[in-house]
Chain A
Amino acid sequence: MKLTCGDVRKKLSEDLQLQENETICARAREHLSHCDACREFRRSLGTTIDCFRAYDSVPPKDLHGLVLQRLRAEGLTTEIRRRDKHEERRQNEDTSHQVNG
């Protein structure tokens, strides 16, 4: 059964490279070989995605400092220190058990 332009465009907008479901993809490829409008649809869909990929923002240099500052403000670095001390105590206990044992 042949696919319509609507079927092919629906398929392309889910799977632009036509990699999933070989039977439908083969039919879609066959349709694309003679349908200029669907080829144009595929091209413009690919261009749209590529434009968004190309438009990025570089993380600011102060990002790490901002995150740490926020963690300090939330009191979370204190929690980390407390967990560090707990871990240190646990390791010391393990070591003394090993020495005594």
Chain B
Amino acid sequence: MRSKQPEPAKLDRTEAVTEETLDRAIAGDKAALDTLLRAYEGTVYKFAFRVCRHEERAKETVQETFVNVIRKLSQFDRKSSFTTWLYAVVTNNCLMQRRKEARGEKFESLQLPSVSETVDAIHAEANTEHVVLNAELKRKLDEAIQALPIEYRIVFVLRDLEELSTEETAQVLKLSIPAVKSRLRRARVFLRDRLGDYMEGKV
């Protein structure tokens, strides 16, 4: 497997909706807002899942994010792309949810398996070697990324999974470029080290 490095300085990424739809949504047009939700809810869900690795928490984060998007849409000043702004909103929601979890406010049953794990376990019982391996690898990936401090995890997800450039990531997180690079370096090495032995034998 080869990794594709994100293109540097890709600040003008293509938006999922037109400028006109965005203008109408900012003005409060209901149909345009609906288009905006449909265009970006999948992106927000995937990002949230990649950060928290839990389907219910990801769904909750999507809902919180769009509540904030609708409330703050008129404040979107177009200094960044809409996607960059949206990533900043969803990142804040992921951080807030992490704080809630730390206080034990929600999702107290952190030890419960997510839906995908339950499905994998069912498949594993069917004794399909390929699926058993996937379930094991997924568990290892979950454990590794959840052990990574959230500040590093978010940089890893934005840069390596969402494929934002270093500059875009810095803009989303309001960090300097050296800080993004440093966090990415630490995150990648941490995850590689956590998965190292498993990768040697299984992948």
User: Which residues of A are in contact with B by a Cβ distance under 8 Å?
Assistant: 9-10, 13-17, 19-20, 41, 44-53, 55-57, 59-60, 63-64, 66-68, 70-71, 74, 76-77, 79-84, 86-87
Task: List 16 other contacts, CB 8 Å, given A16-B3, A51-B137, A80-B30.
Answer: A17-B3, A17-B4, A46-B2, A48-B192, A49-B188, A51-B195, A52-B191, A55-B137, A57-B46, A59-B42, A60-B59, A63-B45, A67-B66, A81-B30, A82-B28, A87-B29
Cβ–Cβ contact A57 & B37, under 8 A: no
Known: A10-B185, A14-B185, A46-B3. A80 touches B199 (CB 8 A): no
Number of B residues, CB within 8 Å of A: 48
Residues in A with CB closer than 8 Å to B66 are: 67, 70-71
Closest chain A residue to B45, Cβ basis? A59
Does B78 sit within 8 A of A, measured CB to CB?
no
Does B172 sit within 8 A of A, measured CB to CB?
no
Residues in B with CB closer than 8 Å to A86 are: 28
List B residues 23-47 near A (Cβ within 8 Å).
27-30, 33, 37-38, 41-42, 45-46
Q: Which of A20, A49, A56, A79 contacts B8 (CB 8 A)?
A: A20
Whole-angstrom CA separation of A42 from B73 in the bound complex: 42
Chain B contact residues, majority secondary structure: helix
Task: Please provide the 3 A-B residue pairs with the shortest distance between their CB atoms, ordered closest to farther.
Answer: A83-B28, A17-B5, A46-B3
Cβ–Cβ contact A70 & B67, under 8 A: yes
User: Which residues of B are in contact with A by a Cβ distance under 8 Å?
Assistant: 1-5, 8, 27-30, 33, 37-38, 41-42, 45-46, 49-50, 55, 58-59, 62-63, 66-67, 70-71, 116, 137-138, 141, 145, 156, 160-161, 181, 184-185, 188-189, 191-192, 195-196, 199-200, 203
Residue among A41, A51, A64 with max Cβ neighbours from chain B (10 Å): A51
Whole-angstrom CA separation of A87 from B25 in the bound complex: 12
Cβ–Cβ contact A52 & B5, under 8 A: no
Cβ–Cβ contact A50 & B185, under 8 A: no
B17 to chain A, nearest CB (A): 15
